[in-house]
Amino acid sequence: MSDLFKNYIDGKWVAGVSAKTFENRNPANRNDLIGLFPASDVTDVDAAVQAAKRAFPSWRLVPAPKRGELIYRVGELLRKNKEDIARSMTREMGKILKETRGDVQEGIDTAFYVAGEGRRLFGETTPAELPNKFAMCVRVPIGVCALITPWNFPMAIPTWKMFPALLCGNTVVLKPAEDTPHTAVRLVEILQEAGVPTGVVNLVHGRGEEVGAALVRHRDVQLVSFTGSAAVGREIASASGQDLKRVSLELGGKNGQIVMEDADLELAVEGALWGAFGTTGQRCTATSRLIVHHEVAKQVTDMLVARAEKIKIGDGLDEEVEMGPLINQAAREKVLKYIDIGKQEGARLLMGGSVYAAGSCANGYFFQPTIFDQVTPSMRIAQEEIFGPMLAIIKIKNFEEAIDVLNGTAYGLSSSIYTRDVGRAFRAMRDIEAGITYVNGPTIGAEVHLPFGGVKDTGNGHREAGTTVYDIFTEWKSIYVDYSGKLQKAQIDNAE
């Protein structure tokens, strides 16, 4: 019999009120049932939010350094359990062990970085304009935070959101993606072992249309942090706007890597392979467009195809495998749809474009690494987020055209340029419209101590990670202390 997992509400593991469940299966082997999880509803959501609401008044008064110490303990436990969590994550969502180990490591890095912020969490002091008066501003927590997270980084992204939220004194309700509920359970188990107080962290499983929507609309949720598609992000922003909730949105990408004629081509091809086919292309920062100078386009294309054809596809638990499956059948159907779109638009399919079903892969959601060339910037495969192992090669004549093509989508998350020309590199850093720019590196590989996020349809201006994440999870309070012993009128008493 399969394991039956539960929600975590008010410090207890509890079944969903409706007793309905959904299956969690291994995308590399559909016969492998990981477990059954609660198909929760609004009643479960309300219980979780109320628990978080009750816990908030006492948690916000715990000194921030003490909150940081708890998060540090979580980091130590993640490090202790890293290999076991990575293996269960690969089984749950498919990406290779090298990548799931990295996913857990991001959680570890975030824990240790955030823990240190418990002894900083800086405010500001400034001179007052009147005598015998003191002025400062400090950060204060917001309240109950709903964290709605995706499946492609099921440890890294929840920790990016949760640890800063907790450090700032907020309480949280986590709603993980339906495809990766088990990794969320592992995270909450570790928080429980580390000693998180009752009600401070709550976990509710279920579908986005039910649990996610109920969290967004709940009157006692003060903040919604969401990572996912731009379409859903707009719905969340619209619904939250009715209640003036704070909303942080990290949405899609259509990231481009520029390769100029003076680039180290071996390095550029290596970066493009990793950026396009790492995580089977299922990253918001994945390289989906390769923008190549016409003088080296044929050479780069030939090198890329030759290497992509050698990528070993299979179960990510095999250490020799380089690319795992897509997350589910809907994802595979979406990629197939874009293969047809690319052909109809006149792009040339150089390799891939089909389901991969050799040997043991017949029972999973595998897909071949796919490369198109003769792609023009306006084609749908060059404009729309596909979220699969599919790369579009676009030829350009010069640096200026490369920048225009890279900027010519609705998104602006990550970007990359390969060049030996320092002037071009700095102009690219200045002119590219993206929240992240790499020079001589692929579009993937963010570090937790720098801001993460993008422009245009990639989000609503907030940045996760780094120090900027604390602007999401705190309010600023300005404080004035007048010790003059008399009424002083600002902008009146100090005017000439």
Positions annotated as catalytic residues are 250, 284
Tell me the two tokens of residue 54: 């009750």
How far is Cα 262 from Cα 198, in angstroms, rounded to an integer? Answer: 58
How far is Cα 340 from Cα 338, in angstroms, rounded to an integer? Answer: 5
How far is Cα 188 from Cα 8, in angstroms, rounded to an integer? Answer: 8
Please report, as a single letter, which amino acid is at residue 159.
T
Name the β-bridge partners of 289: 256, 392
How far is Cα 175 from Cα 162, in angstroms, rounded to an integer? Answer: 11
In 60-202, alpha helices (H): 64-80, 82-93, 97-117, 156-167, 181-194
Tell me the two tokens of residue 219: 């009157």
Q: How far is CA 208 from each of CA 62, 153, 156, 324, rounded to the nearest angstrom?
A: 32, 17, 20, 25
Please report, as a single letter, which amino acid is at residue 133.
K
Name the nearest CA neighbour of 188 among 169, 206, 175, 170: 175
Name the nearest CA neighbour of 146 among 21, 61, 247: 247
Tell me the two tokens of residue 139: 């950060």
CB-based contacts of 5: which residues, under 8 Å, 6+ apart? 35, 36, 37, 38, 181, 182, 185, 205
Task: Please answer whether residues 350 and 383 qualify as being in contact, where contact means their C-beta atoms are separated by less than 8 angstroms.
Answer: no
Pairing of strands 21-26, 246-250: unpaired
Q: Is 323 helix (H, G, I), strand (E, B) or coil?
A: strand
Task: Please answer whether residues 149 and 46 qualify as being in contact, where contact means their C-beta atoms are separated by less than 8 angstroms.
Answer: no
Q: What are phi and psi of 252, to 5 degrees?
A: -85, 180
Tell me the two tokens of residue 445: 């590989």
Name the nearest CA neighbour of 420 among 185, 258, 228: 258
Q: Burial-class residue 117 by CB neighbours within 10 Å (0-12, 13-18, 19+).
A: buried
CB-based contacts of 28: which residues, under 8 Å, 6+ apart? 91, 94, 314, 315, 316, 317, 324, 325, 361, 363, 364, 365, 366
